[in-house]
Amino acid sequence: MQDNFETLAIRLQAERTQFKEHSVPLYLTSSYKFDDAEEMRALFANEKEGNVYSRYANPNTDELINKMAVLEGAEAGWATASGMAAIFTTFASFLQSGDHVLSSRSVFGSTHQLLNNIFPKWGVSYTYADLDKLDQWENGIKPNTKMIFVETPSNPGIDIIDLAWLAQLAKKNGIMLVVDNCFATPYLQQPIKLGADISIHSATKFIDGQGRTLGGIILGSAKLIKEIEGFARHSGPAMSPFNAWLLSKSLETLAVRMDRHCESALKVAQFLEGNAVIKKVMYPFLPSHPQYDIAKKQMRQGGGIVTFVIDGGVAAAGKFMDGLKMFSISANLGDTRSIATHPATSTHSKLTEEERLQVGIEQGTIRLSIGLEHIDDILADIKQALA
Ligand SMILES: *Cc1c(COP(=O)(O)O)cnc(C)c1O
């Protein structure tokens, strides 16, 4: 088969059944039958590959995982019920009491909670570093640092780190590099090819892309995924077959959807950059982005998220949000529908003002997730809300 992304995303399917279906069916079964006692023994002893129980594997989750692994250049993968289940499972599989995590400061809110409040209960410590300050990464490594964790581009600040550089730093120090690749998807960025050990996705966002369901995926070497499996089989963060079925079909349109998200987001970023009441626009493929060269090197396109700061703080931000007629006000992103979020009063309201400023969130910061509506309608809505 051709190894073009679009073709693989469509043509890597589970085997057909005797019904010769064209589109893979949904396997709603909690468990599987064995031909005889010997087959049961061999499957449980891991001497034979096959389905046993849907907490472990299912034809729908297998298809999604195989596709994602090929698309991202990973050997293996594991599917979970949500993006957070994927992050929790990864932490729980590899970290133990006494270990230290060096993480980017600007991480998804619930990841922040895991690092700040949940894993410290089990003796795991953390330090935060800024994506754009490389010395903080070099100096942040301790003798007990087991894992480096990053989100790039970051949310909502859209900061970027050179993944190949970071992977080398991690390798040199014998530390595992884990990347939350949710904002980019495998179509725009492939961390494992750049040297990361694990790549994680919240499939809830652009992979589903239609705001319908939750899902998480962990990708890595066969050896590391075996360790994930050792934890996940018994702790049960499994993705449902229905969600896997839906998400695998979503992958068939990922490339065309991302092309449009990115094309429209770039136009929105360019429009905002020329506007007098906008203090700052952050988008990876704007030449004014401080890490534009790195973005160009490691990303196919700039992604679907545009963050900007409006003059006049929280009052002006609120006025802009309330002035939008088509955009949804929501905390989600990566949907067909364009969405506006005010991070300081929603996703990042639990942080102190100082912590918010450290991750690049001002009172006037607004995050836009650019959807798949016609670009003229997207721009018209932004223009009239600014006016
Ligand atoms: C949404 C999100 C998550 C969490 O994913 P869920 O599917 O909501 O659990 C993790 N990381 C990033 C970057 C996200 O945007």
For residue 330, name the pLDDT band (cuts at 50, 70, 90). very high
Provide, rounded to the nearest whole percent, the portion of the chain with pLDDT above 70.
Answer: 100
Please indicate, yes or no, whether residues 303 and 217 belong to a single structural domain of this protein. no
Supply the CATH number for residue 341's domain: 3.90.1150.10
Residue-wise pLDDT tens digits, 70-115: 999 999 999 999 999 999 999 999 999 999 999 999 899 899 999 9
| Ligand 1 atom with least separation from CA of 203 | 7
Smallest CA-to-CA distance from 100 within 73, 125, 123 is with: 125
* pLDDT at position 271: 97
Q: Name the domain boundary from 251, 284, 313.
A: 251
Residue-wise pLDDT tens digits, 117-131: 999 999 999 999 999
Please indicate, yes or no, whether residues 247 and 258 belong to a single structural domain of this protein. no
Please indicate, yes or no, whether residues 45 and 188 belong to a single structural domain of this protein. yes
Average of pLDDT values for 203-231?
97
Please indicate, yes or no, whether residues 223 and 341 belong to a single structural domain of this protein. no
Please indicate, yes or no, whether residues 129 and 197 belong to a single structural domain of this protein. yes
Please indicate, yes or no, whether residues 197 and 313 belong to a single structural domain of this protein. no
Residue 262 CB contacts under 8 Å (≥ 6 apart), including other chains: 188, 285, 301, 302, 303, 304
- d(C-alpha 332, C-alpha 340), whole Å: 9
Q: Count of residues for the chain?
A: 387
Residue-wise pLDDT tens digits, 175-199: 999 999 999 999 999 999 999 999 9
Decide: pTM greater than 0.75: yes
Q: Which domain holds residue 74?
A: 5-251
- Distance, CA 84 to ligand 1 centroid (Å)? 6
Q: Name the domain boundary from 230, 251, 272.
A: 251
- d(C-alpha 314, C-alpha 85), whole Å: 33
Pocket test for ligand 1, best of 90, 106, 107, 205 (most atoms within 8 A of CB): 205
For residue 351, name the pLDDT band (cuts at 50, 70, 90). confident
Please indicate, yes or no, whether residues 119 and 203 belong to a single structural domain of this protein. yes
Please indicate, yes or no, whether residues 204 and 109 belong to a single structural domain of this protein. yes
- Distance, CA 200 to ligand 1 centroid (Å)? 10
189 lines ligand 1 (CB under 6 A): no
Question: Nearest residue CA, atom 2 of ligand 1?
Answer: 202
* pLDDT at position 1: 60
Please indicate, yes or no, whether residues 68 and 213 belong to a single structural domain of this protein. yes
Asked if pLDDT for residue 231 goes beyond 80, the answer is yes
Strand partners, 218: 78, 200
Average of pLDDT values for 36-48?
92
- Distance, CA 108 to ligand 1 centroid (Å)? 6
- Distance, CA 332 to ligand 1 centroid (Å)? 9
Smallest CA-to-CA distance from 103 within 173, 38, 152, 164 is with: 152
- Distance, CA 44 to ligand 1 centroid (Å)? 33
- Distance, CA 140 to ligand 1 centroid (Å)? 25
| Ligand 1 atom with least separation from CA of 182 | 13
Question: Nearest residue CA, atom 12 of ligand 1?
Answer: 108
User: Which tokens sit at 152?
Assistant: 């790039």
Please indicate, yes or no, whether residues 321 and 372 belong to a single structural domain of this protein. yes
- Name the strand (E) or helix (H) holding 246: helix 241-251
Which 8-state DSSP code applies to residue 114?
Answer: I
Please indicate, yes or no, whether residues 241 and 299 belong to a single structural domain of this protein. no
205 vs 347: which has the higher pLDDT? 205
Smallest CA-to-CA distance from 187 within 108, 279, 107, 253 is with: 253
Pocket test for ligand 1, best of 151, 159, 182 (most atoms within 8 A of CB): 182
Supply the CATH number for residue 196's domain: 3.40.640.10
Question: Nearest residue CA, atom 5 of ligand 1?
Answer: 83
- d(C-alpha 208, C-alpha 33), whole Å: 31
Three-state DSSP at 377 gives: helix
Please indicate, yes or no, whether residues 27 and 162 belong to a single structural domain of this protein. yes
Q: Name the domain boundary from 205, 227, 251.
A: 251
Smallest CA-to-CA distance from 343 within 310, 375, 373, 377 is with: 310
Domain total of the chain: 2
Counts of helices then strands in the chain (DSSP H, E): 15, 12
